[in-house]
Structure 1
């Protein structure tokens, strides 16, 4: 897979990555704003988040250290980590 060059992701990008990484039954309606819903409530554990971090690295070239990904509590926080990484790489 080729690393994509982007300047920033949005919450829909994070939603796609989460679903593709671990999937989840009963995913919220696409119109639902998942930004501030804790990963625990969405059904994601640390292993699912680590898989999401691996996918982010593979697709966008942004490495999120294990200690940081396990501390992230919401999709908005994950989005912030990714976009900070993208900004630093630019």
Structure 2
């Protein structure tokens, strides 16, 4: 089974919205709010689009909008990947 990892997410966030120079994206940012990382809802929307195209999965819009941290966002993505694999 394929898992979407934190390194995948940070790479796509940087690709779609850039990276705040004052934030260490290489550390454990799993529980750091996206706002503190310098990412707004538009950045997450762009990242979600990239994930859906590259990973060929449809993410639950409500769950994505409720995800406040990378860890919560990863849960949403991996649940969708697991559901696709089970189908």
TM-based fold match above 0.5: yes
**Between 66-75 and 12-21, the greater mean CA deviation after superposition:** 66-75
TM-score when scaled to structure 2? Answer: 0.86
CA RMSD of aligned residues (A): 1.4
Residue by residue, what CA displacement relative to the aligned partner does 1:26-60 show, whole Å, maximum 9, x if unpaired? 14152x11111000100111111000100000110
Deviation >4 Å, runs of 4+: none
**Change over 3 Å in CA distance of 1:61–1:29 after alignment to 2:** closer
What is the CA–CA distance in structure 2 between the aligned matches of 1:34 and 1:19, rounded to whole Å?
14
Unaligned runs of 5+ in 1: 1-5
What is the CA–CA distance in structure 1 between the aligned matches of 2:25 and 2:8, rounded to whole Å?
15
Aligned length: 84
What is the CA–CA distance in structure 1 between the aligned matches of 2:51 and 2:25, rounded to whole Å?
23
Greater helix content: 2
